[in-house]
């Protein structure tokens, strides 16, 4: 009968709509899963980049600190060498003064001995 045929067609259309709705739900779930996976990957990549940037920052900071320490040590070495040079110069002057004094004393003794020798020969 016509009513049965219409009812059957209505059932078929309903079934098709339900299948289409189910297919769309399934597709939406897959799309959502892919979006979630991409978001997780993006987050992991961002975390990796942040960790890498932190590692590089820390390395640069350590290198800068090492350079500062090296510069400080270099300046300290230079200051010490300068002090040693000054000390060596002062010692050289002192040695010259002592040598000059010793020479003056020797000459004075020699002059005294000559004078005494001249007096004793008279």
pLDDT digit string (tens) for 19-42? Answer: 999 999 999 999 999 999 999 999
The Cα–Cα gap between 54 and 63 comes to: 14
- Per-chain mean pLDDT for the chain: 95
SS3 annotation, 3-31: HHHHHHHHHHHHHHHHHHHHHHHHHHHHH
Tell which wins on pLDDT, 46 or 116.
Answer: 46
The Cα–Cα gap between 18 and 92 comes to: 109
Q: State yes or no: pLDDT of 45 exceeds 80.
A: yes
Arithmetic mean of pLDDT, 68-96: 97
Report the length, in residues, of the chain: 122
User: Could you tell me the pTM of the whole model?
Assistant: 0.48
The Cα–Cα gap between 33 and 45 comes to: 18
User: What is the pLDDT, as a whole number, of residue 117?
Assistant: 86
């Amino acid at each position: 009968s016509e009513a049965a045929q219409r009812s059957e067609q209505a059932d078929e259309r309903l079934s098709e709509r339900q299948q289409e709705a189910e297919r769309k739900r399934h597709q939406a779930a897959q799309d959502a899963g892919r979006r979630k996976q991409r978001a997780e990957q993006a987050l992991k990549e961002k975390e990796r980049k942040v960790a890498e940037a932190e590692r590089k920052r820390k390395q640069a900071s350590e290198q800068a600190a090492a350079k500062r320490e090296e510069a400080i040590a270099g300046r300290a070495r230079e200051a010490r060498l300068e002090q040693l040079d000054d000390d060596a110069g002062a010692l050289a002057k002192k040695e010259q003064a002592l040598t000059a004094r010793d020479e003056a004393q020797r000459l004075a003794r020699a002059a005294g001995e000559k004078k005494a020798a001249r007096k004793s020969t008279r």
